[in-house]
Amino acid sequence: MKKLENIEQFETLKNEGKTIFMFSADWCPDCRVIEPILPGIEADFPEYTFVYVDRDDFIDLCQEMDIFGIPSFVAYHNGEEAGRFVSKNRKTQEEIEGFINDLAQ
């Protein structure tokens, strides 16, 4: 998974094709729980570019996007927000895959 390096990169990635941003942090226990399943999810959805956004490095972006719980996912299709799975609750593989599958509809 790519790691977001700056706001300019965020703007570029959200406007190019299909991108899912995963908002997370190294200290987040619920984020660590899903970490082992993420490579499989990425492999199952190759049409998406997955980008890790460290909440602590991009706190202003998180506030601007109303991301107050992690892990959270926000998807873009060519610059338009396609969906969000944002909450402070732990996410399961099934919930994440369901979120991504629902984006196509």
- CB 79, CB 13: distance < 8 Å: no
> Does the predicted TM-score (pTM) go above 0.85?
yes
Tens of pLDDT, residues 74-104: 999 999 999 999 987 889 999 999 999 999 7
> Domain extents for the chain?
2-103
Instruction: Give the active site residue among 31, 41, 62, 67.
Output: 31
CA 8/CA 104 separation, integer angstroms: 27
Per-residue pLDDT at 89: 81
CA 70/CA 73 separation, integer angstroms: 9
% residues pLDDT > 70 (the chain)? 99
Instruction: Give the active site residue among 4, 22, 28, 65.
Output: 28
Whether 62 is catalytic is no
Question: Domain 2-103 belongs to what topology?
Answer: Glutaredoxin (3.40.30)
